[in-house]
Amino acid sequence: MLTLVGYYWPSLSLVYLFKPLATLFLVLIALLRWIRSRSAYSLWIAIGLAFSLVGDILLIRPNQFFLPGLLAFLLAHVAYLIAFTRDCKFPPRSLIFLAYLIASAGFYVVLFPTLPLGLRIPVAVYAALLSTMASQAMGRFLLLRIEPARWAAFGALFFMASDLLLACHHFRRPLLYSAVLILVPYYTGQCLIAWSTSSLHAAARSR
């Protein structure tokens, strides 16, 4: 909440303080779960959240640090994808994988004419990895049918929605109340992904 207030404050000081703190709190949740269970799943989620923390800091000023921020979040998605394949094959549901990929590709086609030339390939790679991660999370839930997998699946979906809104805001047309529209699903998604480390089966099955 204080992060959102910071975006509508005359100064970004609240954003610089509370945006990293919010993600750092989630990193600590995942790390504490890993310390208790020593599960590979919790460790990779913690790594993904740590990369997200770096991305959050860099993208406070996207005009200056967009590419480094994009790279940080790309590495976060790699870590999440590794976590979601610890106890589940890739892809767990081929149709889900294709559906997410087609949706992401369709959005990229709409976005393509307004993307700066130097960002077209990086954004395409990012979009492909984002949709792969999110589809793996959803397919994993449909295969395992357990609550923590549900949290991760919908967390990844919220994350994907937030990124699509962010891309639309920066490259298509500015969104009214963009901070609310982008950050609410983002933090909802990250919270659900962090909370998914409470899985009781992780320690036994994901080493």
Per-residue pLDDT tens over the stretch 168-207: 998 988 888 888 899 999 999 999 999 999 864 444 444 4
Specify the pLDDT at position 1. 53
Helix (H), strand (E), coil (C) string for the chain: CHHHHHHCCCCCHHHHHHHHHHHHHHHHHHHHHHHHHCCHHHHHHHHHHHHHHHHHHHCCCHHHHHHHHHHHHHHHHHHHHHHHCCCCCCCCCHHHHHHHHHHHHHHHHHHHHHCCHHHHHHHHHHHHHHHHHHHHHHHHHHHHCCHHHHHHHHHHHHHHHHHHHHHHHHHHCCCCCHHHHHHHHHHHHHHHHHHHHHCCCHHHHCC
Radius of gyration of the chain (CA): 17
Band of residue 9 on the pLDDT scale cut at 50, 70, 90? low
Judge whether 45 lies within some domain.
yes
CA distances from 146 to 38, 143, 203 (A): 20, 9, 15
- What's at 145, amino acid-wise? R
From the list 35, 32, 144, the residue with the least C-alpha distance to 86 is: 144
Judge whether 32 lies within some domain.
yes
Specify the pLDDT at position 7. 52
Band of residue 3 on the pLDDT scale cut at 50, 70, 90? low
Tell me the Ramachandran region of residue 39: left when phi exceeds 0, alpha when psi lies from -120 to 50, beta otherwise.
beta
To the nearest whole number, what is the mean pLDDT of the chain? 89
pTM: 0.89
Band of residue 127 on the pLDDT scale cut at 50, 70, 90? very high
CA angle centred on 174, ends 169 and 176, rounded to 5°: 105
Specify the pLDDT at position 204. 41
Contact 47, 73 (CB under 8 A): no
**Spatial separation of the C-alpha atoms in residues 101 and 125, rounded to whole Å:** 12
Q: Which of 10-14, 54-58, 129-133, 189-193 is least confident?
A: 10-14
**Spatial separation of the C-alpha atoms in residues 207 and 204, rounded to whole Å:** 7
Judge whether 1 lies within some domain.
no
Specify the pLDDT at position 11. 57
Judge whether 4 lies within some domain.
no
Judge whether 3 lies within some domain.
no
pLDDT tens across 49-78, in order? 999 999 999 998 878 899 999 999 999 999
Domain count, the chain: 1
Residue with tokens 């599960």: 39
Residue 5 has pLDDT above 70, yes or no: no
Section 15-42 average pLDDT: 90
Judge whether 150 lies within some domain.
yes
Section 77-87 average pLDDT: 97
Judge whether 5 lies within some domain.
no
Domain that holds residue 142: 10-205
Residue 84 has pLDDT above 50, yes or no: yes
Specify the pLDDT at position 31. 95
Judge whether 186 lies within some domain.
yes
